[in-house]
Amino acid sequence: MNYQTFQPNSDLESLISCYWTLEVPATPDPQRQRIIPDGTIEMAFILGDDIKRYTSDDEYIIQPRAMVLGQTMDPFYIEPTGYVNTFAIRFYPYGFANFVTMPLKDLANKETPIELLFGEKTSNKLEQKIIKATNSSERIEIIENFLLDKLNEKSTIDSIVKTTINALLATNGSTSISAILKDDLSKRRQLERNFKKQIGVSPKQLGKVIRLQTALKMLLNKETENLTDIAYESEYFDQAHFIKDFKEFTGVNPKEFLGNENMALSTLFYK
């Protein structure tokens, strides 16, 4: 696997986590890869062969070749049909809402073709530019010009939602909504409604994903192999709480995750 990340320019760095590319040679016996929720929204362009996403053990769909993958709350499997060549944009949780009018809850747990978000003519033009570009630098320039134009069409994200996201990220997902809003609990219903509309999931769900990210990185970077220590450092109530959340989002327990060949791609992304 050849996985690379690139940083956005300063005008977009508050909304975009990174750009990434992935190239994997075709193999006669491709392995399914389990993709784990990470709290982000991604726009991806499939430049190589088609990629399957399994909807059950035996059934699958072919992913759109230019798509947005919304917030996911359950792990899922993908499998290449040949050569993998993908260019993608990874948005911060609040970032993508700046570029579309559709509520992000309508994008959750599925792939949405970009033509449904930006219109057929605009999307086809963008996709052809990405396909014809000869390298990652050109693709980044193309997508940044597109996104900056879109950004100028819309107002910035709701300040309450952004404040909540920043607090969740700063505390690795462990802070409570009551603590974020302090004494102004009258805003809670407004926050829950706007948050789900703009982010695609509830504040509590996103907090759980962010906290799991912290624990996963500790596990993969071998900062400690003691699950109790990982649970404590990630601010879980106890080890049992950590294992429960881990299994909910990955489908396996922490010990099974390490060294699992179906987790190779997720492991690469998290490292």
Nearest to 202 by CA among 192, 213, 212, 215: 192
243 or 173, which is more confident: 243
Q: Give me the domains of the chain, ranges plus CATH numbers.
A: 2-151 (2.60.120.10)
Query: Would you say the pTM of this structure is higher than 0.85?
Result: no
Highest mean pLDDT among 179-188, 211-220, 222-231: 211-220
Distances 97 to 42, 91, 101, 150, 190 between C-alpha atoms, Å: 12, 10, 7, 11, 17
Mean pLDDT, the chain, as a whole number?
A: 86
What pLDDT does 117 receive?
Answer: 94
CA distance 24 to 28: 12
Q: What is the mean pLDDT of residues 7-17?
A: 90
